[in-house]
Amino acid sequence: MSFITDHILTWVTFLPLLGSLLLWTVVRRDDHARVFALAVALADFVLSLHLWFRYDGPGGQDMFTEKVAWLFGGKINYHLACDGISLVLVMLTTFLGPLVILSAWKAVTERVRDYMAMLLFLQAAMLGTFFARDMLLFYVFWEAMLIPMYFIIGIWGGQRRIYAAVKFFIFTMVGSVFMLVAILWMYFQAGGMGLEQFLALDLERQAQLWLFGAFILAFAIKVPVFPLHTWLPDAHVEAPTAGSVILAGVLLKMGTYGMLRFAMPLFPAGVEAFAPLMSILAVIGIIYGALVALVQPDIKKLVAYSSVSHLGFVVLGLFSLTPLGVAGGIFQMLAHGLSTGALFLLVGVIYERRHTREISEFGGLAHRMPGYATVFMITMLASVGLPGLAGFVGEFMILLGTFGSTTLDHPRLLTALAATGVVLGAIYMLWMYQRMFFGKLTNEKNRDLRDLSVREYAVLLPLVVFMFWLGVRPGMVLDRVEASVERVLAPLAVPASPHADDYPQHALGGGTADAPVFVVHEGEAHR
Amino acid sequence: METFLFWFCGAAMVLGGLMTVVQRSAVVSAVWLIFAFVAAAGIFALLHAPFVAILQVLVYAGAIMVLFLFVIMMLQGPVLEGERRRMKPALWPAVAIPPLAVLVLVGTRIADHGTAAFTTPLPAGFGSPTHVAELLLGRYLLAFELISIALLVAIIGALAIGKEERKLPWK
Amino acid sequence: MEVTMTHYLVLAALLFLTGMTGFIVRRNAIVMLMCVELMLAATNIVFAVFARAHADGGGHVFILMNFAIAAAEAAIGLAILVEIYRRRRTVNVDDLKALME
Amino acid sequence: MTHFEMPLDATSWSVLLPYLVIGGGGLLVMLVDAFVRTLKKDHLSYLTLCVFLASIVVQIAVHPGEGPRLGGMLLAGDWSRFFNYLFAGIGIMTTIFATGIYDRDGRYRPEFYPLLLFTVLGMMVLAAANDLLAVFLGLETMSLATYILAGGVRGNVRSSEAGFKYLVLGGFSSAFLLMGMALLYGYAGDTNFDAIARVLATGGGATILVTAGSALMLMGFGFKVAMVPFHMWTPDVYDGAPAYVTGFMATAVKAAGFAILLRVALLLQPQLAWAWYPVLTVFAVLTMSLGNLVALVQNNIKRMLAWSSIAHAGYLLLGVVTLLSPAVGDPARQALARTVGESAASAVLFYLVGYSLMNLAAFGVVNVLSNRGGEDADDINRYAGLSRRRPVAAATLAVALLSLAGIPPFVGFMAKFYLFAAVVKAGLVPLAVIGVINSLVSVYYYLRVIVVMYMKDTEADSYDGVEWVSVATAGALAALVLYLGIRPDAFHAAAASVIRQLPF
Amino acid sequence: METHANETLLRWIVLAPLLGAAVIGLLNRRLPRRVAGLLACATVGLSFALSVVVFLRMLGLDPEHRRLTDILASWVAYGNLRIDIGFAMDQLSAVMALVVTGVGFLIHVYSLGYMAHDDGFRRFFAYLNLFIFSMMTLVLGENLVMLFVGWEGVGLCSYLLISFWFDGEANAVAGKKAFVVNRIGDFGFLLGMFLIGVTLLPHLAPGEGAFSFAVMQHHAPLLAPVATAIGLLLFLGATGKSAQIPLYIWLPDAMAGPTPVSALIHAATMVTAGVYMIARMNFLYVLTPTAMAVVAAVGAATAIFAGTIALAQNDIKKVLAYSTVSQLGYMMLACGVGAFAMGIFHVMTHAFFKALLFLASGSVIHAMSHEQDMRVMGGLRRKLPVTWWTFLVGTLAIAGVFPLAGFFSKDEILWKTWSSGNTVLWVIGFLAAGLTAFYMMRLVSLTFFGTNRASEEVRHHIHESPATMTVPLVILAVLSIVGGWVGIPAFMGGGAHFEHWLEPVFAGGHAAGTHGAAHAVHDTTMEWILAGASVAWGVLGLLLGWIVYTRRLAVAEAGRRFAGGLPYRILENKYYVDEAYDGAFIRPGYRLSRTVLWKGIDAGLIDGLLVNGSALAVAVVASVLRLFQNGMVRFYAWSITVGLTVFVLYLSFSG
């Protein structure tokens, strides 16, 4: 086993890629392809469990590091590593992997082999992105991700799939090419592409602003942050179910992950200058996404806009620059991955049966599909942030963190506005639910719908279980990311968090507006 | 004498060149071009390049231009239908400005810097066939070989394009 | 007035520009090829001038090569032209519009 | 003056060996074609392949050492060996593709093989040239042969037109080039690069001659590499020529052009960077922008690839610009000159190789899809559903296009990476930004083809039919595109070492 | 902080119903109906029994230590943010727990009969059990976040149960409305919590949970500067849950749910959560007179406002619903004037009699074949004797007739209002009490007196309900009578046990002494006078209602004619508040989202103009540029010369 465990990250990353290559070359029949792909994805999940159980970096540092010289005799390396933040996102990815493959079991009947191979390829690229600690390597994975997603949308998508696929590709490229220039520039400043070398740079403020702009553009498009979001609804609506799930579940997280891992720690001055703007855009995104979701006639589009809204929370949390907000953001990424992923799966279920996603086509489905209605209900509730389900903890921490942010200009106003998203989220979700499931079964075409099959339950139940699990036991994630968040944010010099004793007068003297919210660890606080 | 010959040959060349361009009939153009080439041979001679001058007349004015004339006659006769119309006057400036600009530049340059004379004394036999041959087979041997390849290419090409399609031996 | 190097060069320039202009204004493909020959002749003069100026025979070699290349080019050009004429019955370059945007 | 000096010693022969192999091979093929009556189909192509392989073998076996040879005409060493390998490789691919098309085409062009060999010979001379005369002859040998390759398809109006357009414009531009050489000769009094460099170093001679001469020469080379505004022949000729020839032109001719452009740029850099740098910058930007923009609206895949090749010439020109930049920068930057020049030049070399690989793969696929009538498969819309009918061909084309678009993990990305890295290293960030914006625009039209192949359904008039060997070759190229995209380092290091051994 | 006794039974009080819900929910059809029903009742019964056990244990403790905690696990522990999954029971939550589980149990039993023939029988009990679980989480939550968990949970269950019969569009809409309006309240609740958290977090010792009630109380001085803001924000949450102005609108619609649901959730328990929360946060509210004043004013306003609307409703449950809103106003009023104990007292008594009223009305509706319009009822007195008598008890209790439960709680609230010096509020409360009596009697008159106005077929089916329904009615009726006796005030010679029981919880507030109740006048005479007045006023209201709606007197006719005009229409249409909200927020919001945001900004500006527009612009430029590629060799040559000339010119001028 040691040949696996010694290079565990490489195995986790490239096992799916290997799988996709084998699919293309060796596997011939469609049903074999399905089983094979599922087996590979499951194996990958099992491998990643090794990370989950072995990761114990007390300082949140990277573990399982693999570093091999790649270009320019070691200035640019094949450098993979995993810290708490990567870990949880990787787990999300490998967890969703088998589920989406299972979800496509019947939905995809054409070019099954290619489809499965693309899914696995995509998974490999995403995992690589999360593990990469070398900027060029990161960029390669980041871009490589576009290819399978492009094909998934473009080949197996809906009516306007081509427009959506190209839009997705170009939009994403728009951001990332500037990031490439920024990376190149920094490479010559740092003398290497290693993230740690970049972090060691001490750049001028002006340079930081430019670089931050280049990085953040790439990530903001991916997230997507308002007003760069318009590719998302199209991509989601046109993508096949598995594509939507991965897109919402993992791909969007790349943007926020990138912000957290790269844009923010690398450019403190940039963060300082842009944080107000980013937080305002995030809040606009929250409200705007929710309002636009409200009026969508298409379920998928509704869910897509809800993603804009939810990811707005994540961005807000990150740019609150409080550990609480950041950790909340990470948690929200997971929660959103589960709940929105599940929503897309659910939409896929009904689409498979009816080949339409117009809300007006449905109504009274709860009569025919009680199981479906129940799972949908739970997922929806997780999505709107009902306590006890996954969505709540993240939102709570984000909003709490933002509320106490000492770096933003009007943290409380922003939080208040963002919190309206919670209300609006309930409105559009419940309204959609009501129109789909409640009322009389009026549309004759819905008369003979089957409830969820065993396979569909098998896809959805793990997600539901984790929605509950994360909602009740968020600690399993938070414990793993806490120290890593500290590490990542260290360069930002977030105002140290003094112990109460240091400021007794202040606290009692009224006005806590600029009292730091967060105490790190007892030991560190006194340092 | 040299001055006279220069002006004579030079004028002839320029005239030949202009007439080549201006004449509407391709045949007349070709004849004027030959005229210009012969004048050019005179210039070469003035420039102490007797071998080149001779070849200019033999090869260029002779062989190549005969080829041209032959093709002109073979293809369509002297005047091209499409060239009965003159170019639109509006386009004249567009055509004329680049060469005129260059001429103005050259003129300014001469006005500023004056003219330059030949200063290097020539060795005996400069430009003679022997001299050129020594170079060709000595330092420039490779070029000499290469030019044969280039000509070979031209031959193959002309043949390939010109002749009828060959029967495929296996069909 | 003594004839200097500059005189020869200006002469060559005139010839070159004449050829260049002719290439642009003439529609007859054969005449265009002739204009190219004119430009090459001008170039040859320049080589001759500088060979004389530097007392270097290399220029003459260059001119000879030039003759050969000019001949080759003319041969190929005319061959293709004949082929074109066979198919289209024209040597007017403005009619060669099978390839354009 | 009277002594008769033959420049051929033992070393010279070893230098000449690859050239002799190719040239002699050309003659051999020609003679075989003419005199061997029992010739079977494909025999000539096998022979040609053997010649190319022999030239490679010879070069691997015989190392004549570095430096100018043969009376200073040619430069021996890694530089020329690098390009010789490249040209031989492209030649092999082209031979395979060309042979493949004969199978179905029914048209037999026996002259193709010797011409191809002679073209390659011209390119090899051009790339290795160390003397203006060698430059001229190499260039003309290459060009003359290419005119015929492009225009020599009998009975094909488009081909003839392409050949003729190429020829007249080529003649026109080579007149300028020649004038430039004449002026440079006038400046230095010699045609040898080393001599020119010496004169340049001492600063003798009339500056105007070298300035004007260099401008004219730049134009001449610019024409060959399709630099805006000297590019206009490119789309028409690429369109009209048969696909295998277009592929050859787009790769080998461009590579040869850049080889000599780099040499000349390096040669003239000390005195002329000030002149070339700003102008080339403008040209480079124009070239890539125009190429990408017009490529956007093409429906003909060959024209699209033509415009894309113009755009790629623009990227490559960026490399040349970068090469020149330290010489005009502030003195502080002069210190970087060596490293920047090295990175830029090696990036250009790498880019040329990468570009050749992916472009050949693309043209290879276009070529094998061509119909019996000798008509090329150039309508993008008729690629609909190709991925279902011909998955390997489609995947190959997709890889090639994605790589051309500069998407990792393909070599196109790595090539751009090295190139832009050099650009950024030289401090030319705005140029890099323009470059990446351009590659962004380019994504759209490359994707369009993929869209048609993968996302549209087959129609009645969609192209079909492949030829096994060609597809496998193109597929192998695609695999190489992928491999070099992942492990480019060794190769790039080789390119860098090639650059380090250049005399200038 | 004092140490708390550990009490692991607490978790079972909460979890037992969850277990029931889970089993019923998961097994669903595989579970026989009877088993499902019994299981649901049994789990709630178990909860009740355990509550009683714990309560008894608590009685055995010294009043200062009557706070039992049961921490299950840490929920969120990040940095110094600590939120535990834990339960705590003190005197306040003990009362609530007993009421919730007790009434809940009765209603469960009642539902066995009421829902006997419903298709969704199992689902119903699963939801109901889930509700009890959530409510108990709310009540027993150890910290504010746990309370919020329950708060949201009951909201969810409310939503599920209102739209239980999801066939009907209206039911589904009502359910959604309830959830959404509650969410608006939650918005305030959340912000309030954040303000607390942000204020406290920097000052906590390790291991202290910022939202733990004990910790918050301990650090109350730190909260003082922001207490008003917190108080108002939390109160916004309370207005949502407890149906106060301006967020009361969901509650009347919530009557769309099955009647037991209305009784349990929308009368007895859930809607009082807001009152409970404010009482729970008393240590904070006493720091902020402003917030207290707002609470009191809103409470009083709601009481009278809802009371007037109730006058003109014809749906039997709607009347009760508005009555509930009105009564909740009383409770808020109590809290607002600092009489938290009285508020809770009224919560308890109200739970008894309002649950009774709802269940009895359910019995009526059951009998009338699910007819709810009072205009077609009448004369049911004889046909439904048990229902009639219990209903009457409930009516008298709510009208505040001595010595029924309602008298004690309502009278005490009015007294505390008076004694705290808020005369205006007292007048409003007093008027509202009269209204309550009037409309309740109107209801009774229309339903039980006169002749039946229903169709023949319906009339044929009228019958008394089964024992599962009547027994709980009787028990609740008894409770409505005696329930108030635990809090007989001192001036009547009672021990005011209830108030004393709760004293330790509200001690912090009294000690702080920053609000009106502190300078309350202890004037026994006045107390007697006011008590008498309110009883008389209640009886008057009852009489008036009886006269107007059963006796055809001229005065009554005149009054009816007068009231039947414009004022009546306004009241019948609930002051057009729903319409106003619709016109002011919902429609414009929808239109804004659709036309401006989606079609305008998203599709038009960003996608159309910026994204596709720039793509189009590039395409146009490209199309223009390609025109230069005109196939003309001569043009190509010309462009070469021009390019070259420009180059040369540049060189000559710059060199």
The model's pLDDT over A83-95, given as tens digits with 9 standing for 90+, comes to: 889 999 999 999 9
Local confidence band at A510 (pLDDT 50, 70, 90 cut-offs): very low
In a domain, D69, yes or no: no
In a domain, A176, yes or no: no
Among the ranges given (B153-167, D11-25, E230-244), the one the predictor scored with the smallest mean pLDDT: B153-167
pLDDT in tens, D279-294: 899 999 999 999 999 9
Partner C contacted by E629 (CB < 8 A): yes
In a domain, A280, yes or no: yes
Cβ distance B105 to E642 less than 8 Å, yes or no, reads no
Taking any CB pair shorter than 8 Å as contact, residues of chain D touching chain C are 132-133, 136-137, 140, 144, 147-148, 151-152, 154-155, 157-158, 160-165, 167-168, 171-172, 174-176, 178-179, 181-183, 185-186, 189-191, 235-237, 239-240, 294, 303
Nearest CA in chain C to B3: C3
In a domain, D153, yes or no: no
For residues D305 and E45, give the distance between their C-alpha atoms in angstroms, rounded to a whole number: 80
Q: Which residues contact D6 (CB under 8 A, 6 or more apart)?
A: B137, B138, B141
Cα torsion through E334, E339, E342, E348, rounded to 10: 70
| Pick from C56, C61, C69: CB nearest D140 | C69
Strand partners, A79: A67
With a cut of 60, say whether residue E515 has pLDDT above it. no
Q: Which residues contact A356 (CB under 8 A, 6 or more apart)?
A: none
With a cut of 60, say whether residue D331 has pLDDT above it. no
pLDDT in tens, E328-339: 998 999 888 888
AA identity, residue D1: M
Residue labelled with tokens 């502190």:
E518
In a domain, A334, yes or no: yes
Burial classification of residue D34, based on how many CB atoms lie within 10 Å of its CB (0-12 exposed, 13-18 middle, 19 or more buried): exposed
Residue D239 contacts residue C99 (beta carbons within 8 Å): yes
For residues D44 and D30, give the distance between their C-alpha atoms in angstroms, rounded to a whole number: 9
Chains touching D (3+ CB pairs < 8 Å)? A, B, C, E
User: Helix B2-22 and helix C5-25: axis angle, to 10°?
Assistant: 10
Cα torsion through E117, E123, E126, E131, rounded to 10: -90
For E207: left if phi > 0, alpha if psi spans -120 to 50, otherwise beta; the answer is: left
With a cut of 90, say whether residue D136 has pLDDT above it. yes
Local confidence band at D1 (pLDDT 50, 70, 90 cut-offs): very low
E106-109: long-range pairs with CB below 8 Å, 24+: E106/E355, E106/E472, E106/E475, E106/E476, E107/E260, E107/E263, E107/E264, E107/E268, E107/E355, E107/E359, E107/E472, E108/E40, E108/E41, E108/E44, E108/E45, E109/E41, E109/E468, E109/E471, E109/E472
Tell me C101's DSSP state.
-
Domain coordinates in residue numbering, chain B: 2-122
Q: Which two tokens stand for residue B34?
A: 């030959």
- The per-residue pLDDT for E561 is 65
Chains touching C (3+ CB pairs < 8 Å)? B, D, E
Pairing of strands E68-78, E5-6: parallel
- The per-residue pLDDT for D135 is 93
CA distance to A198, A272, B146, D121, per residue, from B149 (Å): 56, 69, 5, 9
For residues A464 and A382, give the distance between their C-alpha atoms in angstroms, rounded to a whole number: 9
Partner E contacted by C48 (CB < 8 A): no
Mean pLDDT of chain A: 86
Mean pLDDT of chain D: 86
Residue D71 contacts residue B138 (beta carbons within 8 Å): yes
Structural domain range at position D323: 275-504
Q: Which residues contact E424 (CB under 8 A, 6 or more apart)?
A: none
Local confidence band at C60 (pLDDT 50, 70, 90 cut-offs): very high
- The per-residue pLDDT for E542 is 83
For residues A141 and A79, give the distance between their C-alpha atoms in angstroms, rounded to a whole number: 12
Residues of chain E with C-beta less than 8 angstroms from the C-beta of A399: 190, 194
With a cut of 80, say whether residue E496 has pLDDT above it. no
Residue labelled with tokens 């790039």:
D492
Partner E contacted by B94 (CB < 8 A): yes
Mean pLDDT of chain E: 84
Cβ distance A151 to D417 less than 8 Å, yes or no, reads no
Residue labelled with tokens 């889970």:
E22
Partner D contacted by B159 (CB < 8 A): yes
Strand partners, D300: D379
Partner D contacted by B152 (CB < 8 A): yes
Angle, vertex CA D269, rays to CA D267 and CA D270, nearest 5:
105
In a domain, A322, yes or no: yes
Could you tell me the sign of the dihedral formed by the alpha carbons of E287, E293, E294, E300, in that order? positive
pLDDT in tens, A298-345: 999 999 999 999 999 999 999 988 888 999 999 999 999 999 999 999
Partner D contacted by E630 (CB < 8 A): no
Residue E92 contacts residue E505 (beta carbons within 8 Å): yes
In a domain, A460, yes or no: yes
| Pick from D71, D144, D206: CB nearest B153 | D144
Higher model confidence: residue E510 or residue A249?
A249
Closest CA to D98 of D244, D290, D265, D269: D244
With a cut of 80, say whether residue A507 has pLDDT above it. no
Nearest CA in chain B to C27: B83
In a domain, A102, yes or no: no
With a cut of 50, say whether residue D329 has pLDDT above it. yes
Spell out a b/e string for D416-432, using b for 16 or more CB atoms within 10 Å of the CB, else e.
Answer: bbbbbbbbbbbbbbebb
| Pick from A291, A434, A437: CB nearest E593 | A291
Cβ distance D424 to A166 less than 8 Å, yes or no, reads no
pLDDT in tens, D219-265: 999 999 999 889 999 999 998 888 889 999 999 999 999 999 998 88
Local confidence band at E134 (pLDDT 50, 70, 90 cut-offs): very high
Local confidence band at D275 (pLDDT 50, 70, 90 cut-offs): confident
B abuts A (3+ Cβ pairs < 8 Å): no
Cα torsion through D50, D52, D56, D61, rounded to 10: 50
Query: The domain at C5-88 falls in which architecture?
Result: Orthogonal Bundle (1.10)
In a domain, D1, yes or no: no
Among the ranges given (A500-504, B8-12, E22-26, E144-148), the one the predictor scored with the smallest mean pLDDT: A500-504
For residues E138 and E89, give the distance between their C-alpha atoms in angstroms, rounded to a whole number: 11
Cβ distance A381 to E171 less than 8 Å, yes or no, reads no
Local confidence band at B77 (pLDDT 50, 70, 90 cut-offs): low
- The per-residue pLDDT for E655 is 60
| Pick from C40, C69, C84: CB nearest D164 | C84
- The per-residue pLDDT for E90 is 86
In a domain, A427, yes or no: yes
| Pick from D158, D179, D240: CB nearest C43 | D179
Cβ distance C38 to B36 less than 8 Å, yes or no, reads yes
Q: Which two tokens stand for residue E176?
A: 């959604």
Q: Which two tokens stand for residue E157?
A: 């269950």
Residues of chain E with C-beta less than 8 angstroms from the C-beta of B105: 648-649, 652
Among the ranges given (B126-130, B149-153, D458-462, E88-92), the one the predictor scored with the smallest mean pLDDT: D458-462
Quick one: what percent of chain D has pLDDT higher than 90? 42
For residues A176 and B130, give the distance between their C-alpha atoms in angstroms, rounded to a whole number: 67
Angle, vertex CA A218, rays to CA A214 and CA A223, nearest 5:
140
Nearest CA in chain C to B113: C6
Query: Rounded to 5 degrees, what are φ and ψ at D406?
Result: 80, 35
Partner E contacted by C11 (CB < 8 A): no
pLDDT in tens, D34-73: 888 777 767 888 899 999 999 999 988 887 777 777 777 8
Angle, vertex CA D343, rays to CA D337 and CA D344, nearest 5:
85
Domain coordinates in residue numbering, chain C: 5-88
Partner D contacted by B74 (CB < 8 A): no
Burial classification of residue E464, based on how many CB atoms lie within 10 Å of its CB (0-12 exposed, 13-18 middle, 19 or more buried): middle
With a cut of 80, say whether residue E360 has pLDDT above it. yes
Mean pLDDT of chain B: 85
With a cut of 50, say whether residue E518 has pLDDT above it. no
For residues D313 and A449, give the distance between their C-alpha atoms in angstroms, rounded to a whole number: 59
Q: How far is D361 from chain A (nearest CA, A)?
A: 19
Nearest CA in chain B to D148: B157
In a 3-state reduction of DSSP, which class is residue A78?
strand
Residue D438 contacts residue D325 (beta carbons within 8 Å): no
- The per-residue pLDDT for D156 is 79
Q: Which two tokens stand for residue D435?
A: 């470059």
Among the ranges given (A496-500, D113-117, D452-456, E50-54), the one the predictor scored with the smallest mean pLDDT: A496-500
Residue E400 contacts residue E483 (beta carbons within 8 Å): no
- The per-residue pLDDT for E171 is 86
Residues of chain E with C-beta less than 8 angstroms from the C-beta of D236: 629, 631
In a domain, D488, yes or no: yes
Q: How far is D436 from chain A (nearest CA, A)?
A: 6
Cβ distance E631 to C27 less than 8 Å, yes or no, reads no
For residues D144 and D163, give the distance between their C-alpha atoms in angstroms, rounded to a whole number: 10
Angle, vertex CA E234, rays to CA E260 and CA A470, nearest 5:
75
The count of domains in chain A is: 1
Average pLDDT (B106-131) is: 85
Residues of chain A with C-beta less than 8 angstroms from the C-beta of E601: 227, 288
Residue E15 contacts residue E134 (beta carbons within 8 Å): no
In a domain, A233, yes or no: no
Q: Which residues contact B137 (CB under 8 A, 6 or more apart)?
A: B144, D4, D6
With a cut of 80, say whether residue E149 has pLDDT above it. yes
- The per-residue pLDDT for E422 is 82
Chains touching B (3+ CB pairs < 8 Å)? C, D, E
In a domain, D435, yes or no: yes
| Residues shown for chain A | 527
Residue labelled with tokens 């328990």:
E269
pLDDT in tens, E70-124: 888 888 888 888 888 889 888 888 889 999 999 899 889 888 888 888 888 888 8
Q: What CATH number should be reported for the domain whose range is B2-122? A: 1.20.120.1200
Residue B29 contacts residue B20 (beta carbons within 8 Å): yes
| Residues shown for chain C | 101
Residue D84 CA to its chain's centroid (Å):
12
A abuts D (3+ Cβ pairs < 8 Å): yes
| Pick from C32, C94, C101: CB nearest E629 | C101
Nearest CA in chain D to B125: D1
Average pLDDT (E254-271) is: 86
CB atoms within 10 A of CB A480: 21
AA identity, residue E343: G
For E574: left if phi > 0, alpha if psi spans -120 to 50, otherwise beta; the answer is: left
